[in-house]
Amino acid sequence: MVWGMFSWHDLGPLIHVEQRLNSTTYLSIIADQIHPIMLMAYPNGDGFFQQDNAPCHGVHIVQEWFQEHEGGFTLLRQPPQSPDLNLIEHLWDEVKRAIRHLVPQPSNLTELYSAIHQAWCQIPRITFQHLVESMPRRIAAVLKAKGGPTKY
């Protein structure tokens, strides 16, 4: 499994998750790797962090950690069943398309991770900037659809 993040400014690191992503692993990623990036990128605490509704995101120890660190950035609450607001999925689609076009295809996990990393690093800046800029329209569309599907 690979975990990634991005902002309008840049792609974040890809984090290779050796085991299943559970609350302990997720908390470790957030505390050890993402929190320092957020503090560096948004020293005034004006950054936003969005997560989807994966089960490990809602576990008490994770929520408690976010409450303890709420001055460093704002955690955006993700409404249930809101895939139209999950921007990272669009970047994963970019990565999947790039890998599907590889010849030869990766033949083992090491090659696959390398291909994922290379595809991630080649995502054009304009791609993730447009995604971030689309959030107000996405939110308006989700509200208009009363939480139902939108064109996004």
- CA dist 43 and 93 (Å) reads 31
Distance between start and end Cα atoms, the chain:
26
Pairing of strands 74-76, 48-50: parallel
Mean pLDDT of 22-35: 93
pLDDT: is 151 or 109 the higher one? Answer: 109
> Which residues are CB-contacts of 101 (< 8 A; sequence separation ≥ 6)?
none
- Please say if the pLDDT value at position 149 is more than 90: no
Placement of tokens 């398309």 in the chain: 97
Residue 76: phi and psi, rounded to 5, are -80, 130
Query: Does the structure show a pLDDT above 90 at 83?
Result: no
